[in-house]
Structure 1
Amino acid sequence: MARRRKGLPIDGVLLLDKPQGMSSNHALQRVRRLYQARKAGHTGTLDPMATGLLPVCLGEATKFSAHLLEADKVYRTRVKLGEITDTGDAEGEVIARQALPERLDHDAIEALLARFRGEIEQVPPMYSALKHQGRKLYELAREGKTVARAPRRVTVYDIRPLGWEPDGFWLEVRCSKGTYIRTLAEDIGREAGFGAHITALERLQTGPFDSARRVTLEALEGMDDDARLAQLLPADAMLDHLPPLAVAAETADRLLHGQRAAVAAGTLAPGTTARLYLDHAFLGLVEATGATEIAPKRLVDTAALASG
């Protein structure tokens, strides 16, 4: 019997430029196969229609992917007025139409957009991966079913038009985690009195990562192994919002064995999560459990790193 390949101990973060028409999971699996990585995970699903920044974590970096799931995002989207679809985007069926004026009132729309800045409530769409009684909502929606969804509070830090077209406009949105851009467009269209759906969606930024270093699948496939590895960012690149803490070898050893360790008073405020380093090597995350004590929170597998 052939032995199953376990994959390579590849660690890091790839800033993938997800193509249109591909699911986030399919893109993830393509990246994993290219790197032959043991473990892989993405940091926030993009709809198949959407394009743009999809950070993919490989190996030990997957342990810290939740920090990008929680991060703020920036999107660019095209809002088409006058039509409502069952999915909120161009992939759905048009279920209602409303005639538009010969010329959109740009000032009125900008004033309307201002009402969506700040903390708002959204009802998650039926075509989403949220679950109801163990089933994903989009599975129920495809069966023609609709269930009640509790509204969620999200924050739109900024929303501004980028350009105007006869039947809609382009928007840039900076928002908190959990914000549905499709739902935002639908709500704007309803308030405008025309209805709306999105016809394009691109993620430009996730947490500390912008689009400057994103790479396409086609480009990755054309690289040799060394060039492909050079595309990976270290795991701690997604944790820049946390303070760093350098410790001595004895302290690091205690923490890596699951024990608490003493630090000087004032090093970290109690409750603070920090990045742990030994001789500039990232070891994971620790938490200050008191004024002079830290405890391991999420550490890398140093044996796995050494074998790589």
Structure 2
Amino acid sequence: MARKKPPTTHGIVIVDKPTGITSHDVVAMLRLRFNERQVGHGGTLDPSATGVLVVAVGKATKLLRFVEKTRKAYLGEIVFGSETDTLDADGVVTATYDMGDVSLADAQALVAKHFTGEIVQIPPMVSAIKIDGKRLHELARQGIEVERPPRPCTIYSFQLLPTDEPNVFLAAVECTPGTYIRTLAADLGKMLGGGAHLRNLRRTAVGRFTIGEAAAPDDCELLPVEEAVRTLDRVDITDDLAAVVANGRVLPHFGGEGPWALFDPAGSLIAVYESYRGEAKPAVVVPQG
């Protein structure tokens, strides 16, 4: 059996994902562009959604989990007066409501009371999480609906702004990963005495990766591997300690919560360490060369 060719291209790219394609489609495009099989993304966007998708190439894929854990920021439009089977504009309308002119002040008051801070959500049936080994969206396509346990999330900020359309508000949300913006829209519509769905969702930030530095899959710049840990605490170490780190040695705690990105005197990322029982334990040792 032939051995897999080791990756030769390494780094991350900040993609502005276009609408109409999946996150996996973006990965496939970048595999062709960089002639590299080892490519992965950090945090799925629905096909209709646009915006920041962080993609890792080569050895940077080992660091994706630290990208996925960072907070996310979104912009989207909440359309009051109709519900869909997918909770967004891609779905079939399942109910309509005469909600009059929805008051921005009333909606903001409900957001402040019920949709800010630590909350729980029921994942939509069109989500990718698994129940009993099957993805919810696969069951939904078969017309099957199952009970979903609520999941906690944190909403750091949820702002509503008026638009030129009646009963349509622009929503700006900052939240933990795993938050369903479409569920926020649907739940807010119910609390206002009717229903709502989400449209034109755009992710504007993943941690410190912002839409301002994102570009189309064909144009995005390959950034150094070190950029993947820009949100982590940096620790500069000596050459002697770097040799120990390369062997995966547990180290004394660095202080703070971690994780910590360890850099050698040449400025190369050599490992990421996490807090473990009062010490610092290697989570990822980055291959050199």
* TM-score between both structures, scaled by the size of structure 1: 0.86
Amino acid at match of 2:110: L
Distance 2:281 2:105 in 1: 54
Q: C-alpha offsets along residues 248-269 of structure 1, whole Å, 9 cap, x if unaligned?
A: 22221122123346x7xxx723
Give the 3-state SS of the residue equivalent to 1:219 in structure 2: coil
Aligned to 2:145: 146
Native 8 Å contact 2:52 2:204 kept in 1: yes
Aligned to 1:227: none
Q: Once the 2 structures are TM-superposed, how far is the Cα of residue 163 of structure 1 from its aligned partner? A: 2.6
Native 8 Å contact 2:104 2:160 kept in 1: no
Q: Once the 2 structures are TM-superposed, how far is the Cα of residue 247 of structure 1 from its aligned partner? A: 2.1
Native 8 Å contact 1:270 1:290 kept in 2: no
Q: Once the 2 structures are TM-superposed, how far is the Cα of residue 217 of structure 1 from its aligned partner? A: 2.4
- CA spacing shift, 1:191–1:295, aligned 2, 3 Å: closer
Q: Once the 2 structures are TM-superposed, how far is the Cα of residue 4 of structure 1 from its aligned partner? A: 9.5
Which residues of 2 match residues 262-277 of structure 1 at below 5 A? 268-269=254-255, 272-277=258-263
Q: Once the 2 structures are TM-superposed, how far is the Cα of residue 158 of structure 1 from its aligned partner? A: 0.8
Determine if the alignment matches structure 1 residue 109 to structure 2 residue 123: no
Distance 2:99 2:275 in 1: 58
- CA spacing shift, 1:296–1:117, aligned 2, 3 Å: closer
Distance 1:288 1:15 in 2: 28
Q: Which consecutive residues of structure 1, in runs of 5 or more, have no partner in the other structure?
A: 221-230
Q: C-alpha offsets along residues 24-54 of structure 1, whole Å, 9 cap, x if unaligned?
A: 1111111121111231110000001100000
Aligned to 1:252: 242
- CA spacing shift, 1:270–1:105, aligned 2, 3 Å: closer
* TM-score between both structures, scaled by the size of structure 2: 0.91
Aligned to 2:283: 297
Which structure would you say has the larger Rg? 1
Determine if the alignment matches structure 1 residue 237 to structure 2 residue 235: no
Aligned to 1:41: 40
Q: Once the 2 structures are TM-superposed, how far is the Cα of residue 242 of structure 1 from its aligned partner? A: 2.7
Give the 3-state SS of the residue equivalent to 1:259 in structure 2: coil
Q: Once the 2 structures are TM-superposed, how far is the Cα of residue 12 of structure 1 from its aligned partner? A: 1.1
Which residues of 2 match residues 76-225 of structure 1 at below 5 A? 76-101=75-100, 103-115=101-113, 116-164=115-163, 165-219=165-219
Q: Once the 2 structures are TM-superposed, how far is the Cα of residue 190 of structure 1 from its aligned partner? A: 0.5
Native 8 Å contact 1:42 1:65 kept in 2: yes
Aligned to 2:27: 28
Considering only aligned residues, what root-mean-square deviation do their CA atoms show, in Å? 2.2
Determine if the alignment matches structure 1 residue 283 to structure 2 residue 270: yes
Amino acid at match of 1:250: D
Instruction: Give me the identity figure in percent.
Output: 35
Give the 3-state SS of the residue equivalent to 1:90 in structure 2: coil
Question: How many pairs were matched up?
Answer: 285
Q: Once the 2 structures are TM-superposed, how far is the Cα of residue 240 of structure 1 from its aligned partner? A: 3.1
- CA spacing shift, 1:249–1:38, aligned 2, 3 Å: farther
Native 8 Å contact 1:274 1:285 kept in 2: yes
Native 8 Å contact 1:207 1:238 kept in 2: no
